[in-house]
Amino acid sequence: MSLSFNPTAFDLAAGLLRWLIVMSGVMLIVGISLTLMSLVAVGKTGPLMVVGQIRDGFIDFLGTSPRRVWALTVLTFREAFRRKTLVVFGVFAVLFLFAGWFMSGVTTDPTLQFKAYVSFVLRTISWLILPVVLLLACWGLPEDIRARSLHTVVTKPVRRQEVVLGRIFGFSMIGLLVLAVVGIIGYVWIVRQMGQTPAMRAQLVARVPIYGYKDVLFLDKEGRDKDERGEILKAGINVGDELPFRSFIEGSTQARAIWNFENFSADRLDQGRLIFESSFQSFRTHKGNIEKGLLCQLTLVNVEKNIRVPLQPFIVDEFRRNTYDVTEKNQKGLTDLAGRPVNLAKDLLHDGKLRVEVACLSSQQFLGMARPDLFIRLPDKNFASSYFKSLFSIGLMVITVVVLGVTSGCFVKGPVATLLTAFVVIVGRMARSFMEEVATGDYKDNPQFKMQGRGILDSLIRIPTHKSPTVALDDNWINKTVQLFDNLELAILWAVHQVFPDLGTFDTTEYTANAFDVPFYESLLPSLAVTVGFCVPLILIGYYSLKLRELEAK
């Protein structure tokens, strides 16, 4: 089982640049709007007031007292605790008391059984904690303002950002405490459920993969690496999927899929063994031997030395993990095409680069593959490692939702804050990727695919003319005008989608449930970036909302 998406390392510099662009844009728009509004409302001194507020904001933030923030944190924690928020533990306990009845034995495959357990636990934790912290965070401050208990706080030397931060830290602490406790219960439950047989116990690992560098490259069936336009082939054959994730290579031809592994040295091998793991998809044009999988062959290549080492072919076991230990499967030793012996470490891995070519050997059959379908497997880590990294990621999501809730509670009442935050969470979790795909035309799981018909006017032309969204419109002035308008509207959509945090980033269930270690650069770093990237502007919004509103306004 491989991942159903392409894990790519987060580019921190590019992310930071994008964040700065969006922040600057938003601040510019807000600044101009406020200046105009102040000119209308107050007159010439209006812009000076806006500047004064910005200056006061800086001074206030510099004067933040950690002790006061901590006092408000403890207050918030105590409040939630005494309002019996922790009853959520009870709900969780009940779920786990009975979950085993329904979940054990759903399949005889330990891999799938493990996946079912882990997915259940991590999703349950997420969906149990999120509503609790969302409600707490959204109602905390509005309730404090309604009951006027905040009056006794802000009439002390407490700055508004200290109130916001105290609430955020307090609710986050509650959320993280609940997460820690239910997380440990969940872990014990999984380990107990998976401890029944040795085969099940063997699933309790966190595989550490090394994926190919960037894209998988392809050779067509004549062995060419470029298409008729002279562009490098980054996709094989499409067997009919509308939005293809996997590309196919035809059997018994010169078609190949090529993985280039970089920064990989022999000392990272598992006790000197080079282990590949694959999960290719089969596409049959005729039944053949239906009980037998397709035949596949890997070839190790050192491009610089021009050494090619074909490995022993293997039968693809579909819907299973295909582990290929190079040493074990090639016990006579590695030899190149001329039959000369080849040393794995010295001849193939000496410069940290390894090229692997995959061929399908079954005639008239096709093997489908995407980048995560083949990887070098490093020594496994403990299951606890990936499980608790998943919990860490959920923790970051909890913090983000708390910050969203507290901020919205700074300027609207509890019910509206709840609706607003829930809307942002739902869009951020379910629709943001779609918005991004529509706005940019880039299909996330297939960089080669560029969506064409995206704009409103473009679609209005395509629907009556039955034109596929994968094909460009005819090159005439009407279509050019349409695209001009659509580009503007898509730019607005792009800007709007930036406002929603990508909560899908926090979901690492697929890694852990498929017994993969949760990678830092591909998963945890983007989660951290989303959390920090949204918390900073949201805290500022919360601060100014609370500072500029009259707490006693009728």
- The footprint of another protein (CB under 8 A) covers 65, 67-68, 70-71, 74-75, 78-79, 82-83, 147-149, 151-159, 550-554
Residue carrying the six token digits 């063997």:
202
- Of 79 and 215, nearer to another protein (C-beta) is 79
Q: In whole angstroms, how close is the CB of 212 to another protein at the nearest point?
A: 55
| Strand bridging mode 354-360 / 256-261 | antiparallel
Q: In whole angstroms, how close is the CB of 65 to another protein at the nearest point?
A: 6
- Of 40 and 338, nearer to another protein (C-beta) is 40
- Of 73 and 505, nearer to another protein (C-beta) is 73
Residue 502 CB contacts under 8 Å (≥ 6 apart), including other chains: 428, 432, 433, 526, 530
> 453: which DSSP letter?
-
Helix axes 160-193, 66-82, angle to 10 degrees: 50
Q: In whole angstroms, how close is the CB of 35 to another protein at the nearest point?
A: 19
**Sign of the alpha-carbon torsion through 478, 481, 485, 486:** positive
**Tokens found for residue 47:** 């812009």
Euclidean distance between CA atoms 127 and 518, whole angstroms:
20
With vertex at residue 204, the alpha carbon angle to CA 1 and CA 513, rounded to the nearest 5 degrees, is: 45
At position 554, the amino acid (one-letter code) is K
**Tokens found for residue 518:** 């949760």
Q: In whole angstroms, how close is the CB of 84 to another protein at the nearest point?
A: 10
Residue 517 CB contacts under 8 Å (≥ 6 apart), including other chains: 206, 207, 208, 381, 385, 386, 389, 511
Q: In whole angstroms, how close is the CB of 322 to another protein at the nearest point?
A: 58
Q: In whole angstroms, how close is the CB of 419 to another protein at the nearest point?
A: 19
- Of 231 and 552, nearer to another protein (C-beta) is 552
Q: In whole angstroms, how close is the CB of 154 to another protein at the nearest point?
A: 7
**Tokens found for residue 501:** 């945090």
H, E, C per residue of 214-245? CCCEEECCCCCCECCCCCECCCCECCCCCCCC
- Of 147 and 290, nearer to another protein (C-beta) is 147
User: What are the CB-based long-range contacts (under 8 Å, 24+) for 451-455?
Assistant: 454/486, 454/490, 455/482, 455/483, 455/485, 455/486, 455/487, 455/489, 455/490
**Sign of the alpha-carbon torsion through 45, 50, 55, 59:** positive
Q: In whole angstroms, how close is the CB of 354 to another protein at the nearest point?
A: 60
What's the Cα-to-Cα distance from 156 to each of 11, 153, 369, 451, rounded to whole Å?
44, 5, 64, 57
Q: In whole angstroms, how close is the CB of 167 to another protein at the nearest point?
A: 13
- Of 163 and 356, nearer to another protein (C-beta) is 163
Could you tell me what percentage of the chain is helix, strand and coil, using 3-state DSSP and rounding each to the nearest 5?
55, 15, 30
- Of 74 and 457, nearer to another protein (C-beta) is 74
Q: In whole angstroms, how close is the CB of 41 to another protein at the nearest point?
A: 9
- Of 291 and 550, nearer to another protein (C-beta) is 550
- Of 169 and 449, nearer to another protein (C-beta) is 169
- Of 79 and 502, nearer to another protein (C-beta) is 79
